[in-house]
Amino acid sequence: MEPLVAKLPAMLGSHNITNGSVPIEGMIIDFNVTDAHLDTLSFNGSAPVVLLNSDFVTVQLNDLDLKILLDFEFITDPPILADIG
């Protein structure tokens, strides 16, 4: 499992998500999220990931650390708030 976890950030690559708008009580927030990518992923593989029981399956990831980086910008209408990060 550990070799797969180590290669996952490179396999997932970078993605452009979307532009969008969210209306919130008399204000519209327009946003743009780009270049989202998995930066780091670590997993404690000492515990079993899948447990097979007689009538169900349990999938459990213990001590999963995940860091996702992305670029974003948003602006409100009326122009009260704006941020580019």
- What is the tens place of the pLDDT at every residue in 39-71? 888 877 777 788 888 899 988 877 888 888 888
CA atoms within 13 A on the CB side of 74: 15
Percent of the chain with pLDDT over 70: 74
Cβ-proximal residues to 82 (8 Å cutoff; 6+ apart), any chain: 73, 74, 75, 76
CA distance 36 to 69: 6
Query: Domain residues of the chain, as ranges?
Result: 2-84
* CB contact at 8 A, 31 and 1: no
Average pLDDT, the chain: 76
List the structure tokens of 14: 């970078």
